[in-house]
């Protein structure tokens, strides 16, 4: 691919200046890869684990071993990963419906959750009559983060100590930013919030939407006390290999209750045919630490390039990250669309396609999405999207190899420069 001399010089500067940052990422990749290999050895992963099961799926050893591996890697007492969980929202729905009962309160302590959960919860009438939590008498409350940066411990403690707070059964934390202008939470910060919640209400379940965060650090939310961490296998933990699926990991009790919503009460994890999908899920989690490292490098590179072109980015190029999402505030609909067009041009699949905004199910605003991926909707692969609402922010993630992700970012920069030019100020 041919890029302007200006962009090539900028890319070379990024490669040079980001080298120390990349070395830190590589150290995390090595530690997480060692954890994966130790777990595989401890659970005696072998070719028999890849054999398919059909029908009820009784005695599927591979399914049971994979559950054990996910529990290990999440620092959890128990876990399950299934190919037939269709996305992260589905996995979260399984967990929330498993834990909540009529009359309970679901308390989000990181502000409004990701758009696609609105219908599951029944926020603002969304999901009414469709079987949302609200339809079953579950109430919803939320506490905003302080300055969009950290959970408000004082407000959380005050609510949990109030008469209404006695009805809280689940406290919900979203690790990543979603479509909001807020910081991603580190595992340390999640642990501090869990400790605060448990000090006031030890009986409350703490559920973490862990999407986009897995393997960015060397520990996960269950290791710091979360009752459930939930995510999608076509994001980080599938390593760009798993073709579908999701996981839930946490305490034995929380996982058991969630399993009764996965299948049926009483059967839980004893059933579920794997239909030959185990091998891809094992292979995916094996590749995941390395693949996440490549995505993190791509995100740092994107932040460096677009900040140098005058666009506001978050996180900054040299900030330590706890998820793979990078935002670039484009400031206009055309800027957002140009960014996504460039990412699409720099993708391995459907590079010839021009993305257009559309009314995507589950979202309040038209969304434009660049997704030239081998697996449909796989956010660990090179992708970018954003709602067409001010300030017109592009949410970028993925890149299963840094080399291809680097090309995608340069294509996006070229398209933005052609359509909008440089910004005069960051």
Q: CATH no. for residue 40?
A: 3.40.640.10
**303: domain CATH number?**
3.90.1150.60
Question: 323 lies in a domain?
Answer: yes
Do 75 and 121 belong together in one domain? yes
Question: 43 lies in a domain?
Answer: yes
Do 396 and 251 belong together in one domain? no
Do 139 and 167 belong together in one domain? yes
C-alpha separations of 103 from 106, 166, 172, 245, 398 in Å:
10, 11, 17, 31, 40
Q: Decide which of 241, 267, 285 is a domain's last residue.
A: 285
Split into its structural domains, the chain has a count of 2
pLDDT at 149: 87
Question: 409 lies in a domain?
Answer: yes
pLDDT at 426: 40
Do 381 and 310 belong together in one domain? yes
Do 319 and 413 belong together in one domain? yes
Q: What is the 3-state secondary structure (H, E, C) of the chain?
A: CCCCHHHHHHHHHHHHHCHHHHHHHHHHHHHHHHHHHHHHHHCCCCHHHHCCCCCCCCCCHHHHHHHHHHHHHHCCCEEEEECCCCCHHHHHHHHHHHHCCCCCEEEECCCCCCHHHHHHHCHHHCCCCCCCCHHHCCEEEECCCECCCECCHHHHHHHHHCCHHHHEEEEEEECCCCCCCCCCCCHHHHHHHHHHHHHHCCCCEEEEECCCCCCCCCCCHHHHCCCEEEEECCCHHHCCCCCCCEEEEECHHHHHHHHHHHCCCCCHHHCCCCCCCHHHHHHHHHHHHHHHHHHHHHHHHHHHHHHHCCCEEECCCCCCCCCCCEEEECCCHHHHHHHHHHHHHCCCCCCCCCCCCECCCCCCCCEEEECCCCCCCCCCCCEEEEECCCCCEEEEECCCCHHHHHHHHHHHHHHHHHHCCCCCCC
Question: 140 lies in a domain?
Answer: yes
d(CA 231, CA 380): 12
Question: 424 lies in a domain?
Answer: no
pLDDT at 420: 87
pLDDT at 180: 76
Question: 53 lies in a domain?
Answer: yes
Do 9 and 152 belong together in one domain? no
pLDDT at 424: 55
Do 244 and 363 belong together in one domain? no
Range of the domain at 14: 5-32+291-419
pLDDT per residue of the chain (426 residues) written in tens, 0 to 9: 789 999 999 999 999 999 999 999 999 999 999 999 999 999 999 999 999 999 999 999 999 999 999 999 999 999 999 999 999 999 999 999 999 999 999 999 999 998 889 999 999 777 788 999 999 999 999 999 998 889 999 999 999 999 999 999 999 999 998 777 788 999 999 999 999 999 999 999 999 999 999 999 999 999 999 999 999 999 999 999 999 999 999 999 999 999 999 999 999 999 999 999 999 999 999 999 999 999 999 999 999 999 999 999 999 999 999 999 999 999 999 999 999 999 999 999 999 999 999 887 767 789 999 989 999 989 999 999 999 999 999 999 999 999 999 999 999 999 999 988 777 544
Do 321 and 335 belong together in one domain? yes
Question: 311 lies in a domain?
Answer: yes
Do 344 and 329 belong together in one domain? yes
Joined together, the tokens standing for residue 31 give 């530690």
Q: Decide which of 251, 285, 319 is a domain's last residue.
A: 285
pTM: 0.95
C-alpha separations of 186 from 26, 148, 158, 297 in Å:
18, 14, 23, 18
Joined together, the tokens standing for residue 420 give 């909008």
Do 312 and 265 belong together in one domain? no
Question: 426 lies in a domain?
Answer: no
Joined together, the tokens standing for residue 286 give 């094996």
Do 314 and 385 belong together in one domain? yes
Do 261 and 296 belong together in one domain? no
Q: Decide which of 285, 313, 347 is a domain's last residue.
A: 285
């Amino acid at each position: 691919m041919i890029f302007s001399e200006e962009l090539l010089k900028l890319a070379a500067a990024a490669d040079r200046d980001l080298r120390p940052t990349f070395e830190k990422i590589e150290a995390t990749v090595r530690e997480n890869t060692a954890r994966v290999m130790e777990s595989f050895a401890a659970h005696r992963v072998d070719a028999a684990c890849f054999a398919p099961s059909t029908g009820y799926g009784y005695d599927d050893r591979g399914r049971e071993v994979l559950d054990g591996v996910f529990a290990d890697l999440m620092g959890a007492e128990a876990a399950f990963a299934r190919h037939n969980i269709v996305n992260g929202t589905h996995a979260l729905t399984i967990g929330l419906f498993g834990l909540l009962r009529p009359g309970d309160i679901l308390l989000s302590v990181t502000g409004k959750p990701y758009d696609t959960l609105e219908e599951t919860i029944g926020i603002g009438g969304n999901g009414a009559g469709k079987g949302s939590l609200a339809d079953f008498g579950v109430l919803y409350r939320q506490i905003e983060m302080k300055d969009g940066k950290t959970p408000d411990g004082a407000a959380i403690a005050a609510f949990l100590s109030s008469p209404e707070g006695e009805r809280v059964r689940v406290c919900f934390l979203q690790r990543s930013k979603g479509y909001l202008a807020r910081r991603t939470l580190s595992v340390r910060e999640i642990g501090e919030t869990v400790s605060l919640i448990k000090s006031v209400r030890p009986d409350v379940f703490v559920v973490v939407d862990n999407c986009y965060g897995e393997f960015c650090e060397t520990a996960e939310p269950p290791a710091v006390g979360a009752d459930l961490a939930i995510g999608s296998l076509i994001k980080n933990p599938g390593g760009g290999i798993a073709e579908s699926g999701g996981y839930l990991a946490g305490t034995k009790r929380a996982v058991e209750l969630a399993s009764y919503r996965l299948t049926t009460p009483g059967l839980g994890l004893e059933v579920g045919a794997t239909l030959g999908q185990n091998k891809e899920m094992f292979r995916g989690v094996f590749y995941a630490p390395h693949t996440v490292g490549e995505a993190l490098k791509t995100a740092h590179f994107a932040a460096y390039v677009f900040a140098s072109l005058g666009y506001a980015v978050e996180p900054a190029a040299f900030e330590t990250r706890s998820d793979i999402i990078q935002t670039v505030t484009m400031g206009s609909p055309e800027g957002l669309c140009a960014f996504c067009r460039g990412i699409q041009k720099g993708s391995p699949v459907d590079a010839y396609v021009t993305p257009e905004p559309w009314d995507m199910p589950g979202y309040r605003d038209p969304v434009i999405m660049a997704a030239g991926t081998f697996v449909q909707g796989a956010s660990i692969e090179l992708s970018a999207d954003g709602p067409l609402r001010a300030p017109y922010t592009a949410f970028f993630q993925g890149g299963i190899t840094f080399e291809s992700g680097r090309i995608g970012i340069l294509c996006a920069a070229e398209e933005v420069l052609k359509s909008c030019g440089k910004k005069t100020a960051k």
